[in-house]
């Protein structure tokens, strides 16, 4: 019988009950698991044995570049996935051959054909790897592609994290054709997710998905659809009404995290440590649910007709929140931004590896199907250079409502103007983007008078 840990009925984590110090070590275990209120334990793995149970888990094998331009090859070896000191360990390894060529291997394990679940409360206690280029994940895929190939079949990401951004995690679903994506994010107030253990959970009911960190709910969604390649929509709550299995893996490189660099260390800090995984279910579920009617928050423009908040940069802001403007760094980009006094100034130290490595955005912009808009802004750079401007839909897999526009900046203020028609479905969370990374320049950029107006 496995040694086990007691959980309170409200599904609070051991970290919250015992304090932050307990998050930095393997959990203390007693003889009983107490399920969240209304749930029953249906399967768990505490990883207390000497090796990974192949009655519960499959090791996957895939070549480098299999998806998302990732660099690792997944291997079914005990070097890359194993049980040690009460943890499942997923270990990426850097390999340098005699010619100096660098490659990477890693581990990916799943419960396909062993343990699947349809609805329930699924949680795992994990410590994630730290370092540029790591993308570890605890996620779920369907037992069968009943509704079509990915993403129509559905995908549930219980938690993902970028190794170079250790204080923020993401919970996401993918679905539909065209590809839809709903995503929530959580930034921890203190500490991070790479030096301490934390509990990540998904509560999955018919028509509802809710994400937790350490017992605290941070995101939920009921808004998705399931269309086949031919365009026929399946009854809600498809595709999230079928059995799914769990996957643990650590990807290296790829489109989202970018490649490892000289700061990335491949030792125990590169490993993902999973203390336990547990499935709980209710006695029954009512699947007779209706898709909630979409209610749009189509806020009014200001008295000048502008939908952009603080478009004239007249007010100082904290550029780390979503109140209006937000400045973000990705994929090796380094720099800073300031706002106030009539302009937004963006300074770049390292342009990063993708165009959005240096990024200034504002979300929450209402865009109505069939309406026409005019998007304008003034900008210049300390030296002639380019940047990319667009308007996207972050809730719809970042579809472009205004396609990427390459802006040729000079050292003098210039006004740039673009007209477009909103041909997609109405979206109350449109997002303007200024992407300033990976464009052969680190010259400082100045922006003001950003306007989005409805013209018809």
pLDDT in tens, 320-371: 888 899 999 987 889 999 998 999 999 999 998 889 999 999 999 999 999 9
Q: Active-site residue among 155, 203, 205, 332?
A: 155
Q: Active-site residue among 160, 196, 203, 332?
A: 160
CB contact at 8 A, 442 and 350: yes
Distance in angstroms (rounded) separating the CA atoms of residues 167 and 163? 9
Residue 155 appears among annotated catalytic residues: yes
pLDDT in tens, 73-93: 999 999 999 999 999 999 999
Look at residues 265, 262, 256 and name the one whose alpha carbon lies nearest to residue 70.
256
pLDDT in tens, 7-51: 333 333 434 433 343 455 555 555 578 899 999 999 999 999 999
Distance in angstroms (rounded) separating the CA atoms of residues 404 and 192? 34
Residue 144 burial (10 A CB sphere; 0-12, 13-18, 19+): exposed
Residue 160 appears among annotated catalytic residues: yes
Look at residues 193, 203, 199 and name the one whose alpha carbon lies nearest to residue 125.
199
pLDDT in tens, 123-170: 999 999 999 999 999 999 999 988 999 999 999 999 999 999 999 999
Pairing of strands 155-160, 134-142: antiparallel
| Buried residues in 299-336 as b, exposed as e (16+ CB within 10 A) | eeeeeeebbbbbbbbeeebebeeeebbbbbbbbbbebe
Q: All domains of the chain, ordered by start, with CATH?
A: 14-281 (2.60.120.200), 326-454 (2.60.120.260)
């Amino acid at each position: 019988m496995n040694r086990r840990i007691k959980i309170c009925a409200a599904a609070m984590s051991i970290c919250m009950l015992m304090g932050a110090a307990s998050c930095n070590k393997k959990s203390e275990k007693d003889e009983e698991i107490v399920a969240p209120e209304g749930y029953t334990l249906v399967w768990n793995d505490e990883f207390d044995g000497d090796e990974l149970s192949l009655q519960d888990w499959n090791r996957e094998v895939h070549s480098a570049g299999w998806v998302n331009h990732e660099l690792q090859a997944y291997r079914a070896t005990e070097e890359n996935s194993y049980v040690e000191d009460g943890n499942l360990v997923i270990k990426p390894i850097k390999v340098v051959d005699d010619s100096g060529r660098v490659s990477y291997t890693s581990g990916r394990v799943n419960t396909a054909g062993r343990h699947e679940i349809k609805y329930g409360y699924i949680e795992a206690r994990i410590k994630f790897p730290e370092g540029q280029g790591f993308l570890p994940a605890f996620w779920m895929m369907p037992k069968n592609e009943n509704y079509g190939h990915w993403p129509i079949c559905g995908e549930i990401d219980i938690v993902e994290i970028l190794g170079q951004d250790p204080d923020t995690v993401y919970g996401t679903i993918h679905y539909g054709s065209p590809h839809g994506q709903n995503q929530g994010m959580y930034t921890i107030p203190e500490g991070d997710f790479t030096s301490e253990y934390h509990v990540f959970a998904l509560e999955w009911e018919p028509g509802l998905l809710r994400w937790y960190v350490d017992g605290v709910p941070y995101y939920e969604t009921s808004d998705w659809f399931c269309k086949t390649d031919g365009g026929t929509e399946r009854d809600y709550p498809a595709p999230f009404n079928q059995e799914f299995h769990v996957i643990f893996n650590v990807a290296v490189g790829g489109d989202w995290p970018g490649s490892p660099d000289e700061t990335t260390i491949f030792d125990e800090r590169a490993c993902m440590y999973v203390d336990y995984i547990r499935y709980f279910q209710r006695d029954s579920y009512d699947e007779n649910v209706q898709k909630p009617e979409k209610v749009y928050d189509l806020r009014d423009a200001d008295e000048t007709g502008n939908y952009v908040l603080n478009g004239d940069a007249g007010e100082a802001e904290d550029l780390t929140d979503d109140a209006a403007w937000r400045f973000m760094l990705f994929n090796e980009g380094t720099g800073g931004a300031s706002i106030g006094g009539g302009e937004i100034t963006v300074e770049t130290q390292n342009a990063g590896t993708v165009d959005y490595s240096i990024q200034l955005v504002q979300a929450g912009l209402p865009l109505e199907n069939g309406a026409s808009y005019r998007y304008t802004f003034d900008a210049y750079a300390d030296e002639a250079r380019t940047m990319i401007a667009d308007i996207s839909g972050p809730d719809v897999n970042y579809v472009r409502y205004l396609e990427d526009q390459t802006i040729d900046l000079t050292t003098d203020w210039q006004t740039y103007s673009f007209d477009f028609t909103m041909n997609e479905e109405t979206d109350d969370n449109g997002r303007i983007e200024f992407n300033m990374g990976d464009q052969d320049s680190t010259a400082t950029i100045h922006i003001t008078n950003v306007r989005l107006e409805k013209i018809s």
